[in-house]
Structure 1
Amino acid sequence: MFDVVITGGEIIDGTGAPRRRGDVAIRDGVVEAIGQLDAASLEAREVIDATGRIVCPGFVDIHTHYDAQVLWDPTLSVSPVHGVTSVVIGNCGFGVAPTRPADRHQIIRTLEKVEGMSAAALEAGLGDDWGFASFPEFLDAVEAQRPLINVAALLGHTPLRLWALGEAATTRAATDDEVAAMRDAVVEAIGAGAVGFATSKSTTHLGAGGRPVPSRAAELDEVLALCAPLRDIGGGVVQATVGPGLFFEEFGAIAERTGGTVSWTALLANTGEGVPAWMLGESIALQDRGLRVLPQVSCRPLQFEFTFAEPFPFESMPEFAPVSAAADDRAKLAVYGDPVWRAELRRRFADGRTGALQASWDRTVIAAVPGDPSLEERTVAEAARSLGVDATELALDLAVASGLQTRFRLAAYNYDDDEVAPLLASDRTVLGLSDAGAHASQLCDACFSTHLLGHWVRDRGTLTLEEAVHKLTAQAADAFGLVGRGRLVERAPADVVVFDPATVAAGPLRRVHDLPAGQDRLVADAVGIDAVLVRGTVVARHGSVVDGGPGERPGRVLRNGRA
């Protein structure tokens, strides 16, 4: 008798091959048989009727920030309900290990600023004793949580630099001895199971106190030295977030040094006329030289919901430096009330010099105004024109009058489907940038998988189901070296999704208060996902997580990509 049999579905195996009708039999966490099974073979402890459904491998999310959340929420909500069975953490070079107790406050403040995580939630969720210091100890701590789904981890450059250089990590190059110490830590992390290394030079990545994150102070020689040990595990993966000193020339050098994959973020639409096509072309040129340089693309509009208490989309503008450095909301209100400061910000918006996220009042929607819903869901520019006032002044007045509680929503990039489509359809890109676990109060792109299947496959026809499933499974798993994941074949781990192609979708965003310390986040419900299995155990059913507790959770830490 099998543990689970999934009967009568259309099987898409993740390789890109055409679908075929059949059954899937699972025993002891692996796929035992696939095909037209006889009646005697269909006996199982649980039978899932997949008539009219697609049966495919579990989805792989290569770009998440669950490093902290997994330590208090081993279900990694909301990813499982959207069919995700394996995630990669540590992206953009951010994480919580290695760490010294004295540096933990700065790590929390860095995650608060750069990844939009609530400091109150982090402090309450992680507690006073994190229970680990080194990266190997961190992986052990994740494993001890018995996560619901599989977790692979990148070693982050920012906590590594902070561990080696202390307060100087944000301001200077590392000495030879410091580079050697960090390289030893990389070797140790790889030995414990890291799948790669992540770093960032993005000008949007500002950490504690509004200072550049530590990885931005690193020179190329340091980055190359820290990536070099990856060659010992067959190349591994380097996840790189672009910025000055970390672009195509450097990607090529890193790929040559490691012999592995450089997965860079992010190739987005609406970044300037001709820019996405040029960036894709540069990546293809490196690939044609035999280098695995893979741009990550997103299937979701990159939009942020924010307040002026934490004005993340604006923080790369110099005018917001005193806001980032402000000790509390009262100090921020003082900045926003300064007429000289306001005049400078008006000039910046008038000139179109609005920071790395290209902020625009024409693309900034008033999402929620306490006590005055009449302006909601109108752009700031539209509302200002109707009221006969300046748009910058209106936004600031709304923020100040509400005690910084008014919410805005900026569509920064990737908002034009016609520009997104060719990037998404290219076989030279990899699907990523969900940022699951980060920017929790600002966005929820952890639903990227159901959005891809509903919007880009069924509604627009940009991809076939087979192409979309391939991007969500085998292509993503192969890019990050997750061995055995991403294909629904015999003897593979039984990570499986059963979904309805006629209804699958990401539901609308809604705000909940379920983080530690009662902090809020945006979530999206999954529509049309019947069942999600990890190693043959159902972890989500019809939009709800199924958590049997620590002894029953089937997820594994994928050390060096292997369970």
Structure 2
Amino acid sequence: MLDRKFVNAKIMDGTGAPWFRGEVAITEGRIVDVGRTVAGEAAETVDLGGRVLAPGFIDVHTHDDLAVLRDPSHAPKLLQGVTSVVLGNCGFGGSPSTPERHEDLVRYVTPVLGPMPSGVWHEFGQYLDTLSTSPSSVNAVSQVAHGAVRIAVMGFENRPATTAEIERMCALVSEAMQAGAIGLSFGLLYAPGCYADRRELVAVASAAARAGGILNCHIRTEGDTLLDSLTEVMDIAEAAGAPLHVSHLKVVGKRNWGTIGRALDLIADRRARGLDVTCDIYTYTAGSSTLLSVLPPWVSAGGSADVMARLADPAARERIRRDMEGNLPGWDNFAGMLGWDRVVISGVESEANRRLEGVNIETIAAERGQQPIDCMLDILLEENARVTMILHQMSEEDVKAVLRSDFAMVGSDGIPLETGKVHPRHYGTFPRMLAHYVRKERIMSVEEAVRKMTSVSARRFGLAQRGLIAEGAWADLVVFDAEKIQDIATFEDPRRYPAGLDGIYVNGRLAAQGGTPSAERAGKLIRHRCACCGPQDQLVCN
């Protein structure tokens, strides 16, 4: 007998083909039959009443590395219809680590990943083992983060790595790949990734590539020198022999809006020349990051005490002011490109500053009777530099252009903090794709949008036999009403779950229904080239 049969479904199979009315049968977590009609009795028959049945959405750009452990229901993603997440992005990760530099790693990741657990994952494989033995409601695949690797070897030192240090970093990447990492991520905007030179970056990327891994890059700049930064990572990928994925492709700054086509053309040209390069994008015109990333990179060098000392030092503050009022080469001056009114505090640690969440720096500075730069530096001092922000930085037409491109897929880039006014993308990215860009703006068909959120992503990030409604595929499925699906989260009230999604199934088990997670924790850790399973790619381990 079948475990479950879906009938009267509008099937969008993830390939982009037109939907068809049909039935789907699942047994033991997998799809066993798809067609106009499916034979056989089932323990449960679900009549979808003409609603869409699609593969579960895959969030290719998350910072959920610790969130899936803190709250295994992972409701902000699950209730969007997300059934799989890609971890370890932008150079941020909780492992590898060393006891002597663990506090540096905590300082680095906490504003983006949220609180670190007690204890240290010295080896990346230990982190994956924790994911494997603590299943969440969603599947997960992880990259190893260059930022964590560099911190483990040399902390936040602002200098090129020595040959011995590069060899150690390569060994850590190789160990992570052997343990099951899908690839390596760079965060070249952030310290310490921004301190790495080409020699180091090519070497660590090569270590990942030799094990069949992907290179995933938050590029160095996304504003005035976007094309230079894209060229840099494409050159690194070519030299390393690695397939390349560009994180959250965009162009920042009002003076640059309308020029994203040049970046898309540059990628298309490299693809035509043989480089396997893709990108992702979130479905909003605002981004989110750490407030520290507004400052010149030199400010973040050294340990936490060094950073805090600079923030308080009048001479260092004057240097910061000069750099932000000038034009520091190779650095995105977000405040200069956007204006302080577009830099919004989204998360702080202290209750004393909680009222600042959701307010822009220009307004806070006026209330305090300060210049915006001094106001920002004081907030960082007050919060031990652990502050997140939202940047209203992109144009709607540029977002549409990237979404339409043949090599783009969807990722939320949500920051899963438990307090503050987080970016609404953590709760609404995938429903917004269907509600805003498909139903309202009509930039593509529903079927094509589903393809960009499912099979394209699964193929790129090695989630074998996922992202499709096909015989033999894992039964990660989402049921939604194409006319009613809607993101509800806003910048003012971001922790609101979307509407119009009905049933969400992970590995054949009901994970959520009617906007409420079930007690099931059916998600699996997916390892790349898992040592215990042999040399085949993308096998599932428990």
TM-score tier after normalising by the smaller chain length: 0.7 to 0.9
- Counterpart in 2 of 1:524? 496
Q: Are 2:177 and 1:187 aligned? A: no
1:45 shift after superposition:
2.7
Structure 2 matches for 1:116-515, cutoff 5 A? Answer: 117-118=113-114, 121-122=115-116, 126-127=117-118, 129-130=119-120, 132-163=121-152, 165-167=153-155, 169-202=156-189, 205=190, 212-213=191-192, 215-233=193-211, 235-243=212-220, 247-271=229-253, 272-304=256-288, 311-312=291-292, 314-316=294-296, 355-356=333-334, 358-363=337-342, 392=371, 396=375, 410-414=390-394, 416-437=395-416, 441=420, 442-446=422-426, 447-509=428-490
Q: What is the distance in 1 between the residues matched to 2:110 and 2:199?
A: 29
Q: What is the distance in 2 between the residues matched to 1:57 and 1:217?
A: 40
Q: Which moved more, 1:143-152 or 1:264-273?
A: 264-273
Q: Deviations over 1:153-201 (max 9, x none)?
A: 10111111222x243x532222222222222222222222111011122
Residues 377, 266 of structure 1: alpha-carbon distance in 2 compared, 3 angstrom cutoff? closer
1:528 shift after superposition:
0.8
1:498 shift after superposition:
0.6
Q: What is the distance in 1 between the residues matched to 2:171 and 2:504?
A: 39
Residues 17, 181 of structure 1: alpha-carbon distance in 2 compared, 3 angstrom cutoff? same
- Counterpart in 1 of 2:510? 538
In structure 2, the gaps of 5 or more residues are 530-537
Residues 175, 316 of structure 1: alpha-carbon distance in 2 compared, 3 angstrom cutoff? closer
Residues 383, 190 of structure 1: alpha-carbon distance in 2 compared, 3 angstrom cutoff? closer
Residues 351, 261 of structure 1: alpha-carbon distance in 2 compared, 3 angstrom cutoff? closer
Task: Report the AA paired with residue 89 of structure 1.
Answer: L
1:73 shift after superposition:
2.4
TM-score (normalised: structure 1): 0.78
- Counterpart in 2 of 1:515? none
TM-score (normalised: structure 2): 0.81
Q: What is the distance in 2 between the residues matched to 1:166 and 1:59?
A: 38
Q: 1:380·1:391 contact (CA, 8 Å) conserved in 2?
A: no
- 1:34 is paired with a residue whose SS is strand
Q: Are 2:528 and 1:559 aligned? A: yes
Q: 1:381·1:391 contact (CA, 8 Å) conserved in 2?
A: no
Residues 74, 199 of structure 1: alpha-carbon distance in 2 compared, 3 angstrom cutoff? same
Q: 1:251·1:293 contact (CA, 8 Å) conserved in 2?
A: no
Task: Report the AA paired with residue 537 of structure 1.
Answer: R
- 2:131 is paired with a residue whose SS is helix
Q: What is the distance in 1 between the residues matched to 2:29 and 2:137?
A: 14
Q: 1:4·1:27 contact (CA, 8 Å) conserved in 2?
A: yes
- 2:403 is paired with a residue whose SS is helix
- 1:527 is paired with a residue whose SS is coil
Q: What is the distance in 2 between the residues matched to 1:491 and 1:511?
A: 43
Q: 1:150·1:558 contact (CA, 8 Å) conserved in 2?
A: no
Residues 354, 480 of structure 1: alpha-carbon distance in 2 compared, 3 angstrom cutoff? closer
Q: 1:76·1:149 contact (CA, 8 Å) conserved in 2?
A: yes
Q: Deviations over 1:506-551 (max 9, x none)?
A: 1124899xxxxxxxxx533121110111110111222222223xxx
Q: What is the distance in 2 between the residues matched to 1:84 and 1:137?
A: 25
Q: What is the distance in 1 between the residues matched to 2:463 and 2:80?
A: 19
Q: What is the distance in 1 between the residues matched to 2:207 and 2:293?
A: 36
1:242 shift after superposition:
1.1
Q: 1:436·1:444 contact (CA, 8 Å) conserved in 2?
A: no
1:437 shift after superposition:
3.1
1:44 shift after superposition:
2.4
Task: Report the AA paired with residue 282 of structure 2.
Answer: S
1:436 shift after superposition:
4.6
Q: 1:4·1:48 contact (CA, 8 Å) conserved in 2?
A: yes
Overall identity of the aligned pairs, in %: 26
- Counterpart in 1 of 2:535? none
- 2:18 is paired with a residue whose SS is coil
- 2:497 is paired with a residue whose SS is strand
Superposition RMSD in Å: 4.3
- 1:506 is paired with a residue whose SS is coil
Task: Report the AA paired with residue 223 of structure 1.
Answer: L
Q: 2:299·2:310 contact (CA, 8 Å) conserved in 1?
A: no
Q: Deviations over 1:386-441 (max 9, x none)?
A: x9x999579959x99xx99xx99754323x32332122111132323523536973
Q: Are 2:99 and 1:105 aligned? A: no
Q: 2:137·2:522 contact (CA, 8 Å) conserved in 1?
A: yes
Residues 50, 269 of structure 1: alpha-carbon distance in 2 compared, 3 angstrom cutoff? farther
Residues 392, 502 of structure 1: alpha-carbon distance in 2 compared, 3 angstrom cutoff? farther
Q: 1:57·1:496 contact (CA, 8 Å) conserved in 2?
A: yes
